[in-house]
Amino acid sequence: MPKVRTKDIIEKFQLELVSGAEGIYRPITTSDLSRPGIEMAGYFAYYPAERIQLLGKTELSFYETLSPEEKRTRMERLCTDITPGIIISRGLEVPPELIEASERQSVPVMRSTMKTTRLSSRLTNYLESKLAPTTAVHGVLVDVYGVGVLITGKSGVGKSETALELVKRGHRLVADDCVEIRQEDEDMLVGSAPELIEHLLEIRGLGIINMMTLFGAGAVRTHKRISLVIDLELWDPNKQYDRLGLEEEKVKILDTELPKLTIPVRPGRNLAVIVEVAAMNFRLKRMGVNAAEEFSARLTDAIEDGEHDYE
């Protein structure tokens, strides 16, 4: 299923559909745009037909200098069966040859009142976020003190219960059980809930509850950048858990590496507090305060001092 169609950008940018209405369900496959200036001049060898074509003042004023025959053929070559759409900016007049050619190939021709560069940057931003690589993970995403914490772990380990306690403590739920993750930028993962289960949380024994109606609009968020992954697992007596916090484990989601903490679960352990503190400690580290490293340095100093005493 295509992620973006021409129809979506018409709605998003309130474009006026001039002709080629049959083609508005064409998929847009790339976030790159094309300003077909050189094509207007007749050079089509590298024409990127699969991109949205943007015609501004420069292109159209040059086009006006062409002969009627050239005008006709250039527009015909511009409208291919894979072109998702042609946008005229600044509310300029649409050349009749373009309308004719677009109707024949059903390429949507749209018009915007925005300036070309402004429109092009807004379109690129929109398309990049829509076409960003995505994945879905099994876990719960909560905004804890402004840090997007993705809680993962096996079914039944207590992810949702931890999220519930966190919301009760004033934090915000983004998604329960299934988190859709988009790579919006290099090193930037944004998580959101699938539309159907937004605001909902499932607690064994209670069933499905709606966090927004129960706790208010302040208890939920639509999306949040993920900064930290906390993996909950049942306490394994044979496994060694991090006691110092000097090493930072990483986990890779899409193309981005995120810091990961593994927290063993045992009855009576207050996970919400641990997650809260993990989030605060994460912020502290970002601000340059690393308790574990500072302590380790102090210990090293003390040991070295002790060695001198013996000398």
Binding region for other proteins (CB under 8 A) out of 64-72, 176-184, 238-246, 298-306: 176-184
Between CA 95 and CA 98 the distance in angstroms is 5
Nearer to other proteins, 136 or 289 (CB): 136
Which has the closest alpha carbon to 174: 148, 138, 154? Answer: 148
Please pick, from the candidates 25, 58, 82, 136, the single residue that binds other proteins as defined by CB under 8 A.
Answer: 136
Place of tokens 């369900």: 25
Active site residue 236: no
Contact 219, 173 (CB under 8 A): yes
Question: Interface residues for other proteins in 206-265 (CB under 8 A)?
Answer: 208
Task: Determine, following the binding rule CB under 8 A, whether residue 65 of this chain makes contact with other proteins.
Answer: no
Question: Interface residues for other proteins in 67-126 (CB under 8 A)?
Answer: none
Contact 282, 228 (CB under 8 A): yes
Nearer to other proteins, 2 or 170 (CB): 2
DSSP letters for 30-57 = -S-EE--HHHHTT--TT--TTSEEEE-H
Q: Is 202 annotated as a binding residue?
A: yes
Region class of 276: left (phi > 0), else alpha (psi between -120 and 50), else beta = alpha
Task: Determine, following the binding rule CB under 8 A, whether residue 146 of this chain makes contact with other proteins.
Answer: no
Q: Is 155 annotated as a binding residue?
A: yes
Active site residue 138: yes
Q: Which of 159, 171, 172, 224 is catalytic?
A: 159
Task: Determine, following the binding rule CB under 8 A, whether residue 194 of this chain makes contact with other proteins.
Answer: yes
Which has the closest alpha carbon to 43: 72, 71, 77, 66? Answer: 77
Give the annotated binding-site residues for Mg(2+): 160, 202
Positions touching other proteins (CB under 8 A) are: 1, 136, 138, 155-156, 176-178, 194, 196-197, 200, 202, 208
